[in-house]
Amino acid sequence: MSKDNKQSPSESLTIKTIFNNIAPHYGLMNKIMSLGLDKLWRQKVVDLVRVEPETNILDLACGTCDLTIMLAKKLKNEGQVIGLDYSAKMLEIGKAKIAKQNLSSVIKLIQGDARKLPFAAQEFDYVVIAFALRNISEREQVLREMKRVLKTDGTIITLDIFRSNLWGYRQLVMFYFKQVIPHLAKLIFNQYQEYNWLPRSIEEFITIEELALKLEEFDLKEIKVEKMMGGVVALHHAKK
């Protein structure tokens, strides 16, 4: 069985159950795990967006909509952001956050599957996915769908966690994900199992270089990669 077809840790535990369970504390736990840097990483995604009249953005696996809201604020009523997620609980919390920010007219939320998007071809100027591609075993199908709904000259953006190539540092980071994060989640939220799959999802994910090659295989152009935190986090973006 090829690496791409393996069942991911999240899917083996049922992805809906995991993300419905962690939804109430998702944003806070992201801040804790990233030492407060997750917003800066998401801002790099936002910075790639060039706002024009009627800009359409699709935020896949949008979770509780932190990135969705940041994108909508940049649009300033010049377009629309659609947030799609598999978890109804995540979307419920995201919807409340959006209403609090008075952005309901700019953002539309849909419960759906990134592997089979309910949109027409060439519908979006930007299609983004942050910290989620590694949780989906059929990632090639996700990339295929992202390209399909993207307009010609539109931009695909991915942001995710990877294994660093720096020996020593890589072991230290994986120790943090394996030994610190699950126990911390259990101590604070009583959610050990939900975070125990995180290090395995990282270890079984393709490398930064392999993801860049995948984008090339899909005939995307102007592929660029930005590594952060010594290659633990990376931003990929490419044009159709």
The token pair at 82 is: 């659609």
Is residue 38 a known part of a binding site?
A: no
Rounded CA separation 236/221 (Å): 12
Q: Residue 112 gets which letter from DSSP? A: -
Rounded CA separation 54/32 (Å): 36
Rounded CA separation 2/95 (Å): 38
* Paired sense of beta strands 124-130 and 150-161, if any: parallel
Is residue 99 a known part of a binding site?
A: no
From the CB of residue 216, how many other CB atoms can be counted at a distance below 10 Å?
A: 12
Is residue 114 a known part of a binding site?
A: yes
Query: Could you give phi then psi for residue 130, rounded to 5 degrees?
Result: -125, 125
Rounded CA separation 164/68 (Å): 27
Q: Residue 180 gets which letter from DSSP? A: I
Provide the annotated binding site for S-adenosyl-L-methionine. 64, 85, 113-114
Residues that constitute the known binding site:
64, 85, 113-114
